[in-house]
Chains A and B, each alone.
Chain A
Amino acid sequence: MSRVSEGSSIHAIQYSIAKTKEKLEDLQLRGSNLKQVQRPSDDPVGNMEILSIRSKRIDNDQFSRNASVAKAQLSFTENAIEELTELMVKAKELAISQSSNIFDPAIRKSVAKEISQLHGQAISIGNRRLGNKYIFGGFKTLSKPFDENGKYLGDNEQTKIEVGKDVFVPITFSGKNVFFEKNDSTLTPRSPLDNSPFQELENQFEIDPNNEPHFKENETEINRLPASKEKAKFPEDGQSSIFAELKRLENALVTNNHEIIQDILPGLDASIDRLIEVRTTIGSTINKVDNSVNTIEKQNITNADYKSKIEDADVAELFTDLTRQQNVLNATYKSSAQLMNNNLMKYIN
């Protein structure tokens, strides 16, 4: 038989009440926001995963936003190029109709006028803006890329943005690529991280070459868009442009030179082909953006599901536990009260 003293029984009561209350408090806190993890120590690894999933979610929201920006800009550019194609087709039709040596000078004059108008329209398309940004100026987005003679003032760069982790898409097409004849000597594929200060940091940390963003899909099409290193200056001699062709056509019509008109036709065809090619590129880029958005959405759902498994409390279990602990506490109170209020002194007179 073990001895029971006042101290030992009071101590036992205090210990059991404190322990039950502590458990109850913890359960109540969980019940108040239905979360399994309240602080890092509740689940150190789970806490890390929750936070990392939250970051991914913020990243993905930003990527989705980037994707909408990319899509808006790409569709706007596509529309402009579509108009330009129609314009060129019209110019071609007019050129064909005037390509024989049998002609009416009056009609030729009016056709020449029409071509001059088309020239003006083409320049206005070249100087088109989305918001305050000129879409065909390369990086020179805040100044007119073409003067009234069709001289290109922009550069040959492409703005690229990230629409998914390490997925970069071009959102601008420089006037050089759209309005000018292709010049194969300037072809260089590049990613926005090439030649950027980012690479110079390699001395301080290793960049995994596999992580470096490159455009594996559609590489051929995108790479065909030149991104030369030459700046601001563009020697127009030797490189024909839509404006030069239209101007030449107009001059030929005015001077009644049908041989030159015939000579111009293949150039117009090449321009139309190039415009169609650019539109295809834009189309496939939009596809790529859509794919990336889909991937992001799927990822968000999977992550939310996973996060909930770590973070959220099992409601049924939680409330069963809560009720049980409450009962335990009540029982402890009752038994303690009886133990505390009784001793022999009461019965000795």
Chain B
Amino acid sequence: MGADLFSIGRSSLRTSKKSLSTTSHNIANANTDGYSRQRVTAETNAPIQSGKNVFGSGVNVKSVKRVHDRLVEKKLNTSISQKSYDQARTDQLSNVEEIFNEINSEGMNKILNRFFNSFRELSNQPENEVVRTLVRDNANIVIKDFKRLSQSVTDVKNRLDSQIEATVNDANSLGGTITELNKEITRLENMGGETGDLRDQRDTAVRKLSEFFKINSYEDEKGQYVVNIVGGGSLVAGGSLNKLRLGRVAGDEVGSYKDEARSEIFFEAGGSTTPITSKVASGEIKALVETRNNEISFLRGQLDEMAHGLVHVTNAIHRKGYVNKKIPVDQNGNIIDKKDPNFFNLPMKNKITGINFFKEPLDLKQASQYIELSDEVKDDLDNIVTGLEPNSPGDNRIAVAISKVQHEKVLGQGSKTFEETYLQSIGKIGLETSKSKINEEQSKGILAQAKSIKERLSGVSIDEEATNMVKYQQAYEASAKMIRTADEMFDSVLGMMR
């Protein structure tokens, strides 16, 4: 009888102590990322039947379980993917947008405008050397700004590429972590061990992975934990990992422009050549790849088209004119040209017409990066031509024609002016950015909601733990008292024997 009291007391002490230590574990992890509070499930021991009476035999700890809901977890992961996608896109696009922001500073639009207007000024006084300096200076500013924009866009592209590479590596190493955890959890569970904390760790890894991709994870019928990239394929299946790799594929047509290469994500297994990027539903990697392959390539294409168009059209007009110098003519007013044997004895040994303003030939690809003044114009201001006829210092028709290019639809197969092309490009980026900003705000809200649902369910409440602590402490004290009572009872029985 007494022995029963002892064993009931002992089971009660043990249970209370386990509960207290779980409470302490909860409090310790109150601020641990991804921690789910744990609860002790106690169970009454099998009762002992003795004759007609049934005696209870105490309590035992059945299990320690974490409070967790798979659906809540899934919703949280989905909103993380969406938010990461929107945030990464907004961040990148805002960067790009800032390069083209002309509201509070000078930008290409103004600079190009000044360039054309400097030719207009030159048409006022084609004889004037000072205005030619102005034209050349403005052309140099245009060149500098094309290079600045081109360089900035390339920088963003390179940064995006290295960022994509880093995230792919992160995703692979997270996949590795999940694989290891899978193995460990299976091993422990086969031995009947507690796996709550490991499962929390695995959930945290999956949540982290959700930042990169939209993830669907589940346990299949064989008890294997599978992590799927939604739209892509399975990254982890139980203990095996299907690694990702970053690859380049030949560029698609972007407008009338062919970019050098697109960045795409592939599965490493079997040397797969099908990129998964476009099929992936959301996540940071999709945002990075998308921005790099679409907006950045588009902008590069537009800049190159503009630079190429400017060089081409300006040169075509400029070549028709004659230099602002005395050109030797014979008595009939015809120009003495190079075929004339006397030509090389004349002071005019250099070109008098057919002079390019910008350097040619220029490939459309990377035109904005390599735009440059022609050597002739660099060397001698008088090689900036204004006149359509030789020896006509007052002839301004070339300058007028170049200034009129400003309002002509010379780009996009004759559908857009320079300004329209440029402003539409900025407009497109602005529109994408503003769309992405709105999406980001929305998905941030949804994520906050999902996080709060998850935290309400699985998060530790100090108040609750405090109550539990008092409760378990009292139970522990009561059990201890119970054992002492049993001891005293035992002593009295022993005292009877004396």
Contact = CB atoms under 8 A, between A and B. Distances in A.
A55 interface: yes
Contact of B470 (A59, A139, A157, A348): A348
B414 A192 contact: no
A41 B409 contact: no
Given A40-B100, A40-B101, A159-B396, A204 B410 contact: yes
A8 B396 contact: no
Interface stretch (A117-125, A194-202, A317-325): A194-202
B394 A159 contact: yes
A107 interface: no
Interface stretch (B279-287, B363-371, B425-433, B489-497): B425-433
Interface residues of A, number: 74
Which of B107, B404, B429 has the largest count of A CB atoms less than 10 A from its CB?
B404
Contacts of B452: 8, 11-12
Interface string A111-146: 000000000000000000000110001111110000
Given A69-B125, A133-B394, A197 B401 contact: yes
Given A40-B429, A41-B430, A157-B392, A47 B408 contact: no
A201 B394 CA distance: 23
Interface in A33-79: 33, 35, 37-45, 47-48, 50-52, 54-55, 58-59, 62-63, 65-66, 69
Contacts, number: 236
Contacts of B466: 343-345, 348
Contacts of B451: 8, 11
Contact of A39 (B127, B430, B459): B430
B426 A40 contact: yes
Nearest to A33: B104
B121 A3 contact: no
Interface in B414-429: 414, 419, 423-424, 426-429
Interface string B123-155: 111110000000000000000000000000000
10 contacts: A41-B93, A47-B103, A48-B423, A48-B427, A55-B419, A62-B117, A65-B121, A197-B401, A204-B410, A232-B333
Interface of B: 30-31, 37, 93-94, 97-98, 100-104, 107, 109-110, 113-114, 117, 120-121, 123-127, 313, 316-317, 319-321, 329, 333, 387-389, 391-398, 400-401, 403-410, 414, 419, 423-424, 426-431, 433-434, 437, 448, 451-452, 455-464, 466-467, 469-470
Which 10 residue pairs spanning A and B have beta carbons closest together? A5-B459, A40-B430, A139-B392, A141-B394, A7-B459, A44-B430, A41-B433, A8-B455, A197-B320, A7-B455
Given A65-B124, A139-B392, 14 more contacts: A8-B452, A38-B103, A41-B93, A44-B427, A48-B424, A63-B120, A66-B120, A159-B126, A162-B404, A197-B319, A198-B317, A205-B410, A206-B409, A206-B414
